[in-house]
Structure 1
């Protein structure tokens, strides 16, 4: 974890995961995807060590909604393919 993660901790999950939360979570996981750097994987959006806080939050929300790791990967791949 990055030092800022040590200070701020994890983003809290919503009390009830709604369809809107799922939409935000998919966006977070897609936008904050890994990108290879010389010192290891970093977040494509904010260059924090991957997985960054928003990527982890998005995965936790999707898992809370009942998606498996495989389903999350499939969803991310589908969303990434749709981006121009």
Structure 2
């Protein structure tokens, strides 16, 4: 699979919004509240990996200033 520019842009947005937050019972997605990683986050990770992004580049997209931001 070769992701399009639109796929990559959407995946970058998803990584920023579907990020982990800590709950007493488990890590949850900050956006959909499912167990982390949620299916949407997994899709975005696969797209960015297929586009040649490294793990560190993908992790750097999470620019929150706190666990709830």
Counting only pairs closer than 5 Å after superposition, residues 5-84 of structure 1 correspond to structure 2 as 15-77=1-63, 80=64
Taking structure 2 as the reference length, the TM-score comes to: 0.84
Count residues in correspondence.
Answer: 66
Gaps of 5+ in 2: none
How big is the alpha-carbon RMSD for the aligned residues of Structure 1 and Structure 2? 1.7
Greater relative contact order, per chain length (Cα 8 Å cut-off, separation 6+): 2
Q: Spell out structure 1 runs of 4+ moving beyond 2 A.
A: none
Structure with the higher fraction of residues in helix conformation: 1
Normalised by the size of structure 1, how large is the TM-score?
A: 0.70
Structure 1: where are the runs of 5+ without partners? 1-14
